[in-house]
């Protein structure tokens, strides 16, 4: 009798074990990189990688919620994501483009630190790539403590932390006007110009996480796929119906839109090899939440230097586009690469820039663009005292940006056109900027363009900062 009970118990254990394995196999088989699998209100994630993780989610009140921490294993992870908070927040916002945030996972293992957006249930975890640069002052730097590994040339991080290895230092939701498009011409280098700037945003427009981390002595930037925008779109055309003659020594126009975005500062437990002290390594993430400027606009730049709104059908009377001579951004990110397009006087009138971004299945240079963050983010962090306590945060803020992409979506269209023709007075060049963002699993980087262009001969038109676009004076 005892033997029969033992057999029944063993059989029951076997059945339960087989059932659990079958359930795990079934769940794993259904997992997708594009869509999350939900069971009884919980998101199911299967991490491909190793290490310890922490999953965070931004809330409408500007705070960041820690959803779960743990160690990556063979079984899927179940997480309850409070998306209903955003559904309630966006319920009555019909006249804007809104992007639900995706949960973000930050992890660490014996290869380093990594970040991933939880867009789908199958999540490939890839550590951040540290650029190959000369190791500054490594001779005087301390070595990493036991169980710590280098993360860049200044910091060491724990490779197998059990708990309390990461925290949210602060998080701010910011609303402000930011320059999405811009053109600046220095020193009368162009006799005449005509341009065509068009920006169509719709539900084929996607928000992306952008991360910046100070690994000493450089700032590393990466981007992760987010969600599509939903709601009312934007159709903006800003053109010159006929030639315009720039009259001042620093002629500029910037197209500014109202945008809401989140900026979060994390602190990762670290050892500072320069000071020999335990500290926190700052990590900053940005995410565009809402494009507040929507509707349809057609704007002409007139020869007398003013703008004529030929068509104006605003989505909201509170948020309309503006054309200004001064830029609305913190500065061109210090991490951005520049490219010169040479313009020869002898070639006469010609096409300088002809760029067209359109939808794609993947983030690429032809389907995404980057815009700098605005000064309001810095002011908010200054008010919190973060910049005083963590001076490295300012350097990261000067290097990070917002990333927006266009992706294939049925019955929706998004695009950006930037076209510039001109007649040069002398040899000069157009200066363009790109953010080289780590997005691919094989560590390739995508050149994400910025459409804030300066045409110059390299001489200062006054006391001007080429990255901020601000001048204290201007001479003819």
Q: What pTM was computed for the model? A: 0.88
Rounded CA separation 458/187 (Å): 9
Q: Where are the domains of the chain?
A: 28-456
Identify the three-state secondary structure at position 386. helix
pLDDT confidence of residue 474: 40
Identify the three-state secondary structure at position 96. coil
Rounded CA separation 445/128 (Å): 12
Which tokens hold the place of 177?
Answer: 């006007």
Count of alpha carbons within 13 Å of 304, Cβ hemisphere only? 3
Cβ–Cβ < 8 Å for 77, 46: yes
Least confident of 98-102, 193-197, 252-256, 409-413: 409-413
pLDDT confidence of residue 411: 81
Based on its alpha-carbon atoms, the radius of gyration of the chain, rounded to whole angstroms, reads 25
Containing 389, the helix (H) or strand (E) segment is helix 386-389
pLDDT confidence of residue 140: 55
pLDDT confidence of residue 475: 37
Rounded CA separation 196/118 (Å): 37
Rounded CA separation 114/128 (Å): 5
Confidence grade of residue 5 (pLDDT, cut at 50, 70, 90): low
Is the predicted pLDDT of residue 79 greater than 90, yes or no?
Answer: yes
């Amino acid at each position: 009798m005892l033997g029969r009970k033992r057999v029944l118990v063993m059989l029951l254990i076997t059945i339960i074990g087989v059932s659990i394995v079958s359930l795990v196999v079934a769940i794993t088989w259904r997992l997708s990189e594009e869509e999350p699998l939900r069971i009884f209100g919980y998101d199911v994630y299967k991490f491909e990688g190793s290490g310890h993780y922490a999953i965070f989610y931004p809330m409408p009140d500007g705070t960041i919620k820690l959803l779960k921490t743990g160690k990556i294993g063979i079984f899927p992870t179940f997480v309850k994501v409070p998306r209903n908070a955003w559904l309630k927040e966006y319920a009555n916002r019909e006249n804007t483009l809104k992007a639900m945030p995706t949960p973000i996972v930050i992890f660490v293992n014996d290869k380093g630190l990594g970040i991933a957006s939880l867009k789908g249930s199958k999540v490939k975890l890839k550590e951040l790539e540290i650029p190959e640069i000369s190791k500054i002052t490594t001779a005087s730097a301390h070595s990493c403590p036991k169980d710590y590994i280098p993360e860049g040339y200044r910091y060491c991080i724990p490779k197998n932390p059990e708990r309390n290895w990461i925290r949210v230092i602060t998080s701010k939701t910011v609303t402000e006007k930011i320059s999405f498009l811009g053109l600046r011409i220095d020193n009368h280098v162009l006799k005449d110009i005509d341009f065509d700037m068009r920006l169509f945003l719709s539900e084929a427009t996607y928000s992306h996480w952008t991360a910046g981390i100070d690994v000493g002595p450089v700032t590393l930037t990466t981007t992760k796929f987010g969600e599509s925008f939903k709601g009312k779109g934007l159709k903006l055309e800003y053109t010159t119906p006929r030639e315009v003659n720039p009259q001042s020594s620093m002629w500029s126009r910037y197209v500014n839109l109202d945008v809401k975005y989140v900026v979060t500062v994390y602190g990762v437990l670290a050892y500072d090899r320069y000071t020999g002290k335990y500290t926190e390594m700052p990590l900053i993430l940005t995410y565009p939440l809402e494009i507040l400027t929507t509707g349809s606009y057609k704007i002409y730049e007139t020869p007398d230097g003013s703008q004529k709104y030929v068509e104006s059908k605003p989505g909201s009377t509170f948020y309309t586009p503006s054309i200004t001579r001064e830029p609305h951004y913190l500065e061109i990110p210090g991490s951005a690469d520049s490219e010169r397009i040479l313009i020869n006087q002898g070639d006469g009138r010609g096409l300088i820039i002809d760029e067209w971004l359109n939808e794609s299945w993947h983030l690429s240079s032809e389907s995404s663009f980057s815009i700098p963050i605005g000064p309001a983010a810095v002011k908010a962090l200054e008010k919190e005292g973060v910049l005083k306590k963590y001076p490295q945060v300012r350097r990261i803020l000067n290097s990070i940006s917002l990333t927006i992409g266009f992706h294939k979506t049925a019955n929706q269209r998004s695009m950006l056109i930037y076209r510039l023709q001109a007649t040069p007075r002398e040899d000069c060049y157009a200066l363009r900027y790109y953010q080289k963002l780590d997005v691919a699993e094989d560590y390739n980087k995508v050149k994400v363009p910025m459409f804030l262009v300066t045409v110059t001969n390299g001489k200062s038109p006054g006391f001007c900062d080429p990255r901020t676009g601000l001048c204290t004076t201007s001479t003819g």
